[in-house]
């Protein structure tokens, strides 16, 4: 009897551990499972992306690239004496920030959707000890079209259609000031005249130490009406139907699409199952270059 009792105990223990193990992970796509904490991080990243300007890259072809989140970590070197040193980061003091960054990077690496690439790029310039890390999402087909259409600009860096999005974004981030401004303007989907104005205004402001007058074209996102997807234009310019209105109404159609499906993925705490939303979206209606 003792033998059978012991075997029963082992069987029960095995079942308990099995259930516990299953509670620690949740399914995320075909052949993928992650811990609940990582799933929550993934959903929070994607919810923020969908609720703000990245919607127009994730669910449409309005913007070749969009910002998702900006992270700040006190990792940058502030000691000029250590510029030639290999020993910069102190694991005891800064290790927790590297661990947090590792967690974010692993979550980003799991984001896998058709024609999309998520890139986590450090800013070239630090703010004292703060290293800024920009998470962006790139629509690969739109990027290829942009590199082809603007080859007279991007070609100087050796960037051609088929270039890895991480390479493109890193190259532009580390370009000279005005080339950086222009490159980002194109990547963010701003119209040519607005990109030209921004670069020229930045150059003039640098010389005169005064900010040139400007107005802003605002395109609503789910979370707010203004201040997310926006670009500057000359004060005397009148937005046109053929350029600005086209961007506005293309964006409006994408936003309306998102509003219609968002509540289907709402959790009791008002967060959304953002990964599942995107998965289902691409199963139902994969984007074409006309979307």
The mean pLDDT value for 180-202 works out to: 98
Query: Under a CB-based contact definition with an 8 Å cutoff, are residues 163 and 155 in contact?
Result: no
Provide CB contacts within 8 A for 184, sequence distance 6+: 172
Classify residue 20: in a domain, yes or no: no
Classify residue 201: in a domain, yes or no: yes
Q: How do strand 116-122 and strand 65-73 relate by DSSP bridges?
A: unpaired
16: pLDDT strictly greater than 80:
no
Question: What pLDDT, on the 0 to 100 scale, is given for residue 284?
Answer: 86
For the chain, give the percent of residues with pLDDT over 70.
Answer: 86
The mean pLDDT value for 97-118 works out to: 97
pLDDT-based confidence at 83, cuts 50/70/90?
confident
Classify residue 4: in a domain, yes or no: no
pLDDT tens-digit profile of 152-165? 999 999 999 999 99
Classify residue 269: in a domain, yes or no: no
Provide CB contacts within 8 A for 189, sequence distance 6+: 56, 62, 63, 64, 65, 247
Closest C-alpha among 163, 123, 118 to residue 138:
118
For the chain, give the percent of residues with pLDDT over 90.
Answer: 83
pLDDT tens-digit profile of 27-60? 444 345 568 899 999 999 999 999 999 999 999 9
Classify residue 104: in a domain, yes or no: yes
- Sign of the C-alpha dihedral computed for residues 50, 53, 54 and 58 taken in this order: positive
Report the number of distinct structural domains present in the chain.
Answer: 1
The mean pLDDT value for 202-215 works out to: 94
Classify residue 135: in a domain, yes or no: yes
- Alpha-helical (H) ranges within the chain are 2-24, 36-51, 55-58, 91-109, 140-149, 151-154, 165-173, 177-187, 192-208, 246-262, 274-284
Classify residue 115: in a domain, yes or no: yes
Query: Under a CB-based contact definition with an 8 Å cutoff, are residues 121 and 166 in contact?
Result: yes
169: pLDDT strictly greater than 80:
yes
pLDDT-based confidence at 14, cuts 50/70/90?
very low
Classify residue 268: in a domain, yes or no: no
Provide CB contacts within 8 A for 262, sequence distance 6+: 50, 222, 272, 277
The mean pLDDT value for 90-111 works out to: 97
Question: What pLDDT, on the 0 to 100 scale, is given for residue 289?
Answer: 40
Report how far residue 126's alpha carbon sits from residue 74's, in angstroms, rounded to the nearest whole number: 9
> What range defines the domain where residue 167 resides?
26-80+88-261+274-284
């Amino acid at each position: 009897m003792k033998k059978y009792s012991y075997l029963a105990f082992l069987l029960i223990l095995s079942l308990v551990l099995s259930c516990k193990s299953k509670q620690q992970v949740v399914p995320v796509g075909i052949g993928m499972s992650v811990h609940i904490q990582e799933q929550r991080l993934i959903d929070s990243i994607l919810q923020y992306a969908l609720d703000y300007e990245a919607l127009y890259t994730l669910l449409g072809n309005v913007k070749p690239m969009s910002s998702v989140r900006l992270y700040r970590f006190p990792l940058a070197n502030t000691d000029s004496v250590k510029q030639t040193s290999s020993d910069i980061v102190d694991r005891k003091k800064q290790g927790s920030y590297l661990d947090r960054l590792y967690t974010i990077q692993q979550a980003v690496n799991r984001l896998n959707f058709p024609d999309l690439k998520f890139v986590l790029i450090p800013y070239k310039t630090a703010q004292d000890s703060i290293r800024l890390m920009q998470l962006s999402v790139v629509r690969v087909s739109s990027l290829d079209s942009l590199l082809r259409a603007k080859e007279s600009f991007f070609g100087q860096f050796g960037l051609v259609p088929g270039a890895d999005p991480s390479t493109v974004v890193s190259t532009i981030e580390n370009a000279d000031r005005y080339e950086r401004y222009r490159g980002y303007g194109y990547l963010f989907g701003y119209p040519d005249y607005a990109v030209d104005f921004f670069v020229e205004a930045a150059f003039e402001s640098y010389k005169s130490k005064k900010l040139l007058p400007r107005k802003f074209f605002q395109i609503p996102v789910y979370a707010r009406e203004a201040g997310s997807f926006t670009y500057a234009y000359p004060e005397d310019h009148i937005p046109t139907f053929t350029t600005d209105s086209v961007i506005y109404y293309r964006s409006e159609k994408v936003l309306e699409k998102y509003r219609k499906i968002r509540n289907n993925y709402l959790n009791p705490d008002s967060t959304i199952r953002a990964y599942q939303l995107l998965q289902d979206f691409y199963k139902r209606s994969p984007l074409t270059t006309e979307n």
